[in-house]
Chain A
Amino acid sequence: MNPRLTIILIGIVVLPLAIAGWLVGRTVRDGQAIAEQRFRRLASLELAAVNDGLDGTFARIHGEATAGLDTLGSNLDDRRGWSDDSFLAAQLYVLGPDRRPAHPPIANPTQLSRSERDSLERTQRIWDGGALASTIFDRGETAAALASDSGWFTWYWEDGIRWIAWRRDVTTDYAIELERTRVLSEIINDLPDTRIGTDERVDSLIRLRDASNRIVYQWGQFEPDDGSEPVVRVPATEPLTAWNLEYYAISPSGAVTTSRVAMLSGLIALIVAVSALAIYFHREQSRDLREAGQRVNFVNQVSHELKTPLTNIRMYAELMSDNPAAPDAKTTRHLGVIISESRRLSRLINNVLTLGGKQQRSVELRRKPVAVDDVVRTVLDSFRPALEASSIEVHQRLDATEPIAADPDRLEQIVGNLVSNVEKYAADGRYLGVRTRIVEGHVEVSIEDRGRGIHVENAQRIFEPFYRVDDSLTEGVSGTGIGLSIARDLARLHGGDLYYEPTGTGSRFRLEIPFESARA
């Protein structure tokens, strides 16, 4: 079994699977990322809506906390009464021209009530540092904008954030310290509750955390694990300075799991299908190869069986032809045809056996010292009758007399194949040039004809087995298409090579057999 083929088959299976797997993985991941992104965006929108609601709550609180200031008188009882009547106000401050409280009456400490003293203690830092005053007064805006304005001021005292709602009227500046817990309670009351037993916010939870990251309030039926991260966290609206809104939910990747399972099962089905196909092809292929091998064996055996009788036929024909008591000329000619044809047949059988041996990797060289010139002469002698019949004139110049270590039978086969080609395809050039020589450590044999030559396009493919140039050249000429292929393979087996060299007037094949292999 050809291991390369197996590798290719494995490649055919693995490569598309890898690509498919990668694509599936990427699709799932992208889908997940898109789902998560969409989910996060929705969560952000929800939190933005909560923040809008908180804005509304604070606008309302500001409105309620500053209600009635327009008509508030300036005497102490009126101002105290206003504070007492308000659920939201912890303390009313009226700012004097020195930007410090004119009310409550800090100039006269004995007049201060306990709650007023407590509030002053909480807000001392603000008055001393001038932080609130600079918020209210130093706005760098036009007089008209400053004439009537309002806003928030926050600071920290003991256990958390505190709020002041301030307002500038045309004549008076008010700052109202709010009841912290009341504001917290109002915020919580404006936020939704958790509707247990309904399908409202089943898979999500929104948390409001203060600046110390403590949970102030949460709603939603989802129960996140301790320490789990929210899907989205956004800062809460001002004046909830440094507070955060968090959105917790079951991860959207859970929702994508179903599509991931579907994709994975598709991928597995594909793997199974492609593998089954590959195994099927692999088995088919090995059966074909086995059958081809059997055919080759059969041809080899038949060829072997043919070889012995053919050798006998040739031997006896040659004996008869060499007999000096020659029969008549007609018989001599008939004998010549028998000898020539049986030689052709044995060349063919040799080629077939070589090809079969090559496929079974069992072609072996039986090297012995041999002079290339001798081999060439033997071949030319054996072809003489055929060449003469085709009126091909042989020009030879043989300069390779030194013996080299080579297989004379194989050399003969190479040269025979080349000469046979000239006889078959280039007979109309009526020329066969054979030249041998020793150059730079190798023996060179050139076989040249003056036929029509080989078209450049085909020059590369003539050495492929079973390839026959498909043009007028081969028309009407029988051939197997293995001659050149075997010739080159045998040359390479010797460590040499066979080249095709186009000439202006025909074709030339140059055979090189390395010289040093004689000593090897």
Chain B
Amino acid sequence: MKNSRILIWVGVLSVSIALALTAASSKSPDRSGAVAVETTLAHPVMLAGAKQTTYLKVAVTGVDMNPDKRAPVNVAIVLDRSGSMSGKKIEQARRAAIAAIDQLRPDDIVSVVTYSSNVNVLIPATKVSDRESLYMRIRGIASGGNTALFAGVSKGAQELRKFIDENRVSSVVLLSDGLANVGPSSPGDLAALGATLGAEGITVTTVGLGLDFNEDLMAGLALKSEGNHFFVEDATDLTLAFATEFGDAISATAQDAHIVIDCPAGVRPVRMLGREADIRGQRVEVYLNQVYQEQTKYVLLEVEIAAGFAGRRIPAAAVTVTYRDLDRGGMRTARSSASVRFTNAAAEQKSNEHRETMISAVKLIAVENNKIAVALRDQGKIEAARRAFLENETYSLDNSAKYNSSELLTYGVTQGGAARVVDTPKWKAERKLQIEQNLKTTSQRAVTPKTEGSDKD
């Protein structure tokens, strides 16, 4: 039964990847670079004569690549083999790891690190040439002991570094079902580790298994390194999560993207929504680890624009994105800009409002509201939390009607759902779902993920 389920997932995944790849090759992409950059303002037309706040969105979209030429990957699979993993979980983890390696090509590099109280580099970084011997070793993984998560991820990253190559996508895939309890173990510690690995170009994708893992820690580690985070309640769904992450890694078109937003005088960068950025004076800098084909990553900057004269157009931002082209190699630069025009007609401002940008902004604001609600629930203020969830539901649903967005509708519905279970035993699972959803939203990958959402049924 489980076997057939895994096979189905792997099959679905393979087909979807194949489809994506054929679709990619049939189009005629813009061959000027591996990414396309678009800069938009939520309000490209603003009322004159008053200081106003709006959102600036920079969207970086990976263009399609020749599927035969896709960039080789360098993956470290880090598996929790602590005592709590024993039984079905470790069994499924082994299968998922094997199914994941099965998708790799011979020139890809894989390593497997397991950890409990100690760390074991089970398979040091190696090319995927002799699969059977790798599978043999993975099948030998036994469970028992504590959870040295920090050291496990560290050693996984260390294996990646042996073959680190700017033209290879480097990724740690972490699976854990528990709390870290050996070595640095706080969510802050792991987030900082994620940040430093992310800065190096290593993403950490985390798969939280069951209901006992620390979702703040796992999501933080993923967020700070720009990896994905999956909440997998049932071990039999593990293979899917792994396959999704591997599909992503395989489809990367660019990495080490450095976005520089320069605002002219009169446009003040206020804050970055849902993502950390260096804001120094008029310059904002953001790093993106990878851009995947057919996917868009975006950053959303709140800006304050000084009062202008009606009829005048001023530049709002000049954006430069430098990135490594994984298709053809070498660093490339893409440029984009946005401007704002001032008017006296309120209706003109409204009619020119940029829908997509507003939807993105609303989503990120809804996520911030959600975080506040979750924090209230964490403090035991259940009624306040319920109110906050309901307010966020209203906010999301109102805006979904306003901008005709099904995404916001879905998000709003989940907020209502959270409000209903906030004082029930289901909250434990609900919290993990909320955190996972927040991360998916803030990771700001805006393309139909064909294989995501196993846990949404």
Contacts and interface: CB of A to CB of B under 8 A. Distances in A.
A and B: bona fide binding partners: yes
Contact of A159 (B119, B186, B196): B186
B148 to A, nearest CB: 7
Interface string B129-167: 000000000001000010010110011011000000000
B23 interface: no
B119 A216 contact: no
B117 A218 contact: yes
Interface string B174-194: 000000001110101100110
A117 to B, nearest CB: 11
B183 A216 contact: yes
Given A182-B196, A188-B151, A217 B186 contact: no
B278 A113 contact: yes
B279 interface: yes
A180 B117 CA distance: 22
A460 interface: no
B155 A193 contact: yes
Contacts of A189: 154-155, 157-158
B119 A111 contact: no
A80 B285 CA distance: 12
A114 B281 CA distance: 11
B193 A181 contact: yes
B118 interface: yes
Contacts of B140: 197
A194 B120 contact: yes
A84 B182 contact: no
Contact of A113 (B120, B186, B192, B279): B279
Given A188-B183, A217-B151, A218-B117, A113 B196 contact: no
Contacts of A179: 192, 196
B235 interface: no
A258 interface: no
Contacts of B122: 196
B446 interface: no
B119 A114 contact: no
B278 A185 contact: no
A159 B121 contact: no
Contacts of A483: none
A188 B155 contact: yes
Query: How big is chain A's contact interface, by range?
Result: 20 to 34
A122 to B, nearest CB: 12
Contacts of B279: 113-114
Interface in B99-138: 113-114, 117-122
B188 A159 contact: yes
A113 B119 contact: no
Nearest to A180: B192
Nearest to A205: B118
Contacts of B281: 110-111
A38 B189 CA distance: 40
A194 B150 contact: no
Interface centre among B118, B121, B145, B157 (most CB of A within 10 A): B118
B261 to A, nearest CB: 14
Contacts of B199: 87
Interface in B198-254: 199-200
B280 interface: yes
Contacts of A87: 196, 199-200
A223 interface: yes
> Mostly helix, strand, loop or mixed at chain A's interface?
mixed
Given A159-B186, A180-B192, A194-B120, A185 B280 contact: no
B117 A223 contact: yes
B192 A181 contact: yes
B183 A215 contact: yes
Contacts of B184: 181, 184, 216
A398 B302 CA distance: 149
A216 B180 CA distance: 12
A219 interface: yes
Interface string A178-204: 011110110011000111110000000
Interface residues of B, number: 33
A16 B376 CA distance: 81
Contacts of A180: 192
A219 B118 contact: yes
Contacts of A216: 183-184
A217 B183 contact: yes
B83 to A, nearest CB: 12
B193 A217 contact: no
Contacts of A223: 117, 145
A115 interface: yes
B148 A217 contact: yes
Nearest to A83: B278
A133 to B, nearest CB: 26
B180 to A, nearest CB: 11
A255 to B, nearest CB: 24
B182 A185 contact: no
B280 A80 contact: yes
A366 B148 CA distance: 102
A101 interface: no
Given A115-B278, A159-B189, A181-B184, A193 B118 contact: yes
A87 B120 CA distance: 25
A383 B373 CA distance: 138
A185 B157 contact: yes
A239 interface: no
Contacts of A195: 120
Contacts of A185: 150, 154, 157, 193, 196
A220 interface: yes
Interface in A64-116: 80, 84, 87, 110-111, 113-115
Interface centre among B119, B121, B193 (most CB of A within 10 A): B119
Nearest to A158: B188
A404 to B, nearest CB: 100
B269 to A, nearest CB: 11
Interface centre among A115, A196, A221 (most CB of B within 10 A): A196
Nearest to B182: A215
Contacts of A194: 118-120
Nearest to A80: B280
A197 B142 CA distance: 11
Contacts of A219: 118-119
A218 B158 contact: no
A87 B200 CA distance: 7
A515 B192 CA distance: 114
Contact of A196 (B120, B154, B188, B189): B120
Interface in A191-237: 193-197, 205, 215-221, 223
B182 A218 contact: yes
Contacts of B148: 217-218
Contacts of B200: 87
Interface in B417-432: none
Contacts of A115: 278
A424 B395 CA distance: 146
B120 A188 contact: no
A190 to B, nearest CB: 9
Contact of B121 (A111, A193, A218): A193
A195 B123 CA distance: 11
24 contacts: A84-B285, A87-B199, A114-B279, A179-B196, A180-B192, A181-B193, A181-B196, A182-B192, A182-B193, A184-B189, A185-B154, A185-B157, A188-B155, A189-B154, A189-B157, A193-B155, A194-B119, A195-B120, A197-B140, A215-B182, A216-B184, A217-B148, A217-B182, A220-B118
Given A80-B278, A181-B184, A196-B120, 7 more contacts: A84-B285, A87-B200, A113-B279, A179-B196, A181-B192, A195-B120, A216-B184
Interface of A: 80, 84, 87, 110-111, 113-115, 159, 179-182, 184-185, 188-189, 193-197, 205, 215-221, 223
Closest 7 pairs between A and B when the two form their complex, measured CB to CB? A194-B118, A181-B192, A185-B154, A189-B158, A182-B196, A188-B154, A181-B193
